Chains A and B, each alone.
Chain A
Amino acid sequence: MSSQSDYGGREWISEKIAQLLEKSVLKPLKAEKVPYFELLSRTKDNVFIDEEIQVIRLGNKKIKRRLSNIDEAKTFMRTVLIAAIIYEAIKNNKYPTIRDIFYDAKHTIPGTDIDTVDVQAESDNIIEDLEVMLGASREEMGLQTDVKCKVVGFMRVKSGRDIIDCSRQGEGGAYSPPTNVDRLEILDVSAEYVLVVEKDAVFNTLNMERYWEKNRCILITAGGQPDRPARRLIKRLNEELGLPVYVLTDADPYGFYIYSVYRIGSITLSHESVRLACPRARFIGVSVSDIYEYNLPKNVIIKAKEADIKRAIELKSYPWFQSQAWQRELDLFLERKEKAEIEAFSSKSLGFLEEKYLPEKIKSGHYIM
């Protein structure tokens, strides 16, 4: 496992970069042929659900980025540029953030008024291309990202030379793991399940209430769209330690989608799903039916927006939302056109979420997948 590997061990990646440039650029050039990069397409039409491991996988459709095609040439140029930056970072033992990479790459091409990259999304996208072509994750490349993931609970980890106790983070404090969660050594865990909370605010409330202590669980959030460290950590806790994972989101299609990212992965990162997706993650709520089963008052129920309806219709067609339970939930949503936030339970009474709703649902096994 790469979590055991020393951080100096990135040479295999720099070698792969040199091989990639040799094979895709120099070799064709010496044969007087147009060089191109070829990689698996990361688009909706080239992903499938791997039935065996229940995650999104990339198909076999390949795309080319040719030097001769004016639209592809710009991407070709960015690929070489960013490959060179990463190559040198590894050689010089540097750990740049992906934002550093963006700034390092960004300059005006001499003799033109064109910038190599305009926005960070462009360099981020190239980094993902390189992950696909090199078969190495950006974490393995040593690239750093802003980590939104926070964790708290009875768990001790070893990071570098330090041992961190995730239950001793102070009032409302939480541990933020490093970009490359694989470099963490999980020493011991004393918990019965993992509760993943979509929203940072709800995480903070539960943490202040020491929900994790009362319920013997590990509490994790990634503050909205999950980042890679959160997903990787959850997967490890699920697969290495056998802890069940529950995901708590708002009762709306956006929340359901976030759950699906934790569970089976996302299209754009489908090349990393095997490493990041957690197919056994369970959706604890808030479900659409919860809104009515728990009799949430009318004034906390929100009318669905046009975008929510559209999204729900999309989700209904995704292969990973085809279970009876999910189809029922989505149908109900499309029928009632209503949604609710996690915090809506506070309208019943403060503490209802952590004292009644969550323990009840987990105890009764009332989750959906």
Chain B
Amino acid sequence: MKGFTHLSVSDWFYRNRYIAGFTNPARSLYQAVRELVENSLDACEAAGNLPHITVDLKLISGRGAPKIYKLTVSDNGTGIPPQYVPQAFCTVLFGSKFELKQQRGLFGLGVKMAVLYSQITTGRPVEVTTCYDGCTEYHFTLQMDLKNNKPIVLSNRAQKLKEPRRGTTVKICLVGDYDRRLGSKSTGDYIREYLKLTTVANPHATILFSDPYDAVYTFERSVEKLPPLPREAVPHPHGVDVEMLKRMIESSRSTSLQTFLSKNFDRVGPKKALEFLKWAGFNPNKDVKKLTADEIVKLVNALKAYEKFLPPSPDVLSPIGAEELKAAISRLFNPEFVKTVTRQPKSYSGYPFQVEAGIAYGGPIIEGLCRGEGDFRLLFRFANKIPLLFDERGDVCRKVVESMDWKQYKVDDTTPIAIFIHVCSTRIPYKTAGKEMIADVEEIEEEIRFALMECARELRRYIYRKMKGIKEEERLNLLKAYIAEIADNLVRVVKEDRQKLVELMWMVVTKRVKSK
């Protein structure tokens, strides 16, 4: 990535804005919301605060094209130390370092892409208000020096706070189109769905959204507990490539191969490193800095081929949690039944990953959504706690959903169900640069299938019991009618109180039902 700094940043952006999601005004608006919200979520989690994020989108110049919007996103996160604010918002790739972590943002660029897009389309500065220490609030207006990839500070003032608080508010102006339709939905629909689903994948977050028509949407948190922060991981030997290894060697001190491996790789200790180097035919004492280019390639290939490394550490992952996911689905979709599951962590090609799934059944919301879907099962996908709203048809999740034998689970084309699938990993294997489609990695596919089967089995039990319950109700109704008829005729022969007979008969037949 370092190579990119030699390019003009604006050139780089123009060449890459498609893959970063900034294609047309409609999609760019959606993408800008995403970047700011995800940035805020990261800041809140880092601060250990339950996220409370407000998103405000207003049309400020709407006559004729292009439409210019002002987007304001506030959070209660860590805040940013004032000395870093200009670079944090206006220097692309600032602070981004080589790391392997379950993270939300695309490319680790986050908010800077949105700022860049804002500046290119409107020329207006970004406004940042932040409080890091809890008592002084700093207000910046910033611009990017695109040519030199440096921030230009237009204004900067500080203000003592009477009430201590932390957090950051970012305002950008950008060309967008809230009402334009992307397929069957408008940009606004996508933004609202994105925010709503973000609170499914992040049940501890509350998001308020005020749209250009002043409609306010509130997505309240469903749990009061913060998830553990994902730990930064060192790479697993199976997941390394030549470029990565080169950079790791560059940033390393001069040391033996054995020490280098045991210090920089996941699940590799000195013993395992020695074992491996012997197997691969390397001298364990060789200085890592003295490896030739050919030797580096040979080492990478050997690292990938060696089968005795332990699987990658799973503790770098931060799943949503089955209970939390269930709480969020229940709150936002209010289904009749919901089953969620978090699978054990697994790995593919040296990267740990974990699959979570949920199936929600029934209730007016899901019934309504399913009517809109036609014969296509309602599916919500998440990768590293970010909802994926586009390119569903090419996704491995869709592939698994379509390949399941749903009839076996008493689910037919008219059964109202919504399926939720979350994949978290230190590296999500996206199919395309658009990062909306998870690739058909066999290990992931299998885990998704197992997770769905687990939920579906529970659903089948529920549907079965429900159907039986309806039958039981029919049975009791029939018995009730028979009992009335029997009582009518009994009193033709014996001297008994009809009502008393009805009550006795009803009692004995229902008592029997309960004792079954």
**Chain A contact residues, CB within 8 Å of chain B:** 17-18, 21-22, 25-26, 28-30, 32-35, 67-68, 70, 73-74, 76-77, 80-81, 83-84, 87-88, 109-112, 114, 116
Contact = CB atoms under 8 A, between A and B. Distances in A.
Contacts of A35: 505, 508
B138 to A, nearest CB: 76
B493 A32 contact: no
A34 B509 contact: yes
A67 B484 CA distance: 12
B489 A84 contact: yes
Contacts of A109: 481-482, 484-485
B481 A67 contact: no
Contacts of B278: none
Given A18-B494, A109-B484, A67 B511 contact: no
Interface in B459-494: 475, 477-486, 489-490, 492-494
Contact of B493 (A17, A28, A67, A112): A17
B493 A29 contact: no
Given A29-B508, A73-B482, 4 more contacts: A22-B494, A67-B486, A77-B485, A88-B492
A114 B485 CA distance: 11
A319 B507 CA distance: 48
12 contacts: A18-B493, A28-B508, A29-B501, A32-B511, A34-B509, A68-B508, A68-B512, A73-B479, A83-B489, A87-B493, A110-B484, A116-B485
Nearest to B509: A68
Nearest to B508: A34
Contacts of A29: 501, 504-505, 508
B489 A76 contact: no
Given A77-B485, A114-B481, A25 B490 contact: yes
Contacts of B477: 112
A92 to B, nearest CB: 11
Contacts of A26: 490, 494, 496
A111 B479 CA distance: 12
Main secondary structure of the interface of A (DSSP, over half): helix
B377 to A, nearest CB: 36
Nearest to B478: A70
Nearest to A22: B494
A84 B494 CA distance: 10
Nearest to A105: B489
Contacts of A34: 508-509, 512
A35 to B, nearest CB: 7
Nearest to B471: A70
B216 to A, nearest CB: 50
A20 to B, nearest CB: 9
B492 A87 contact: yes
A29 B504 CA distance: 6
A87 B493 CA distance: 7
A114 B477 CA distance: 12
Nearest to A83: B493
A76 B512 contact: no
Contacts of B475: 70
Nearest to A87: B493
Contacts of A32: 504, 507-508, 511
Nearest to A29: B504
Contacts of B479: 67-68, 70, 73
A116 B501 CA distance: 19
Contacts of A83: 489, 493
Contacts of B492: 84, 87-88
A126 to B, nearest CB: 12
B505 A81 contact: no
Contacts of A17: 493
Contacts of A74: 482
B176 to A, nearest CB: 61
A33 B508 CA distance: 6
B488 to A, nearest CB: 8
A351 B167 CA distance: 121
Contacts of A67: 479, 482-483, 486, 505, 508-509
B508 A81 contact: no
Interface string B131-159: 00000000000000000000000000000
B509 to A, nearest CB: 5
Contacts of A76: 482, 486
Task: From A22, A30, A34, A67, name the one whose CB has the most chain B CB atoms within 10 angstroms.
Answer: A67
Nearest to B510: A68
Nearest to A112: B481
Nearest to B476: A70
B508 to A, nearest CB: 5
Nearest to B477: A112
Interface string B392-408: 00000000000000000
B503 to A, nearest CB: 10
Nearest to A116: B485
A67 B486 CA distance: 10
A112 B482 CA distance: 10
A112 B501 CA distance: 20
A201 B490 CA distance: 47
B512 A81 contact: no
Contacts of A73: 478-479, 482
B478 A80 contact: no
A35 B513 CA distance: 15
Contacts of B482: 67, 73-74, 76-77, 109
Interface in B343-380: none
Contacts of B511: 32
A82 B513 CA distance: 27
Contacts of B486: 25, 67, 76-77, 80-81
A18 B489 CA distance: 12
A112 B494 contact: no
A29 B496 CA distance: 12
B493 A84 contact: yes
A295 to B, nearest CB: 63
A111 B481 CA distance: 7
Nearest to B496: A26
B494 to A, nearest CB: 6
A87 B492 CA distance: 8
B508 A84 contact: no
Interface string B161-191: 0000000000000000000000000000000
Contacts of A77: 482, 485-486
Contacts of B483: 67
A22 to B, nearest CB: 6
Nearest to B491: A84
Q: Which 4 A-B pairs have the closest CB atoms?
A: A84-B489, A84-B492, A77-B482, A29-B504
Given A34-B512, A68-B512, A76-B482, A81 B489 contact: yes
Contacts of B504: 29-30, 32
A210 B167 CA distance: 121
B475, B485, B508 — most chain A CB neighbours (10 Å):
B485
B463 to A, nearest CB: 22
A70 to B, nearest CB: 5
Pick the most buried of B475, B478, B482, B490: most chain A CB atoms within 10 A of its CB: B482
A84 B490 contact: yes
Nearest to A17: B493
Nearest to B507: A32
B500 to A, nearest CB: 9
Contacts of B484: 109-111
A144 to B, nearest CB: 21
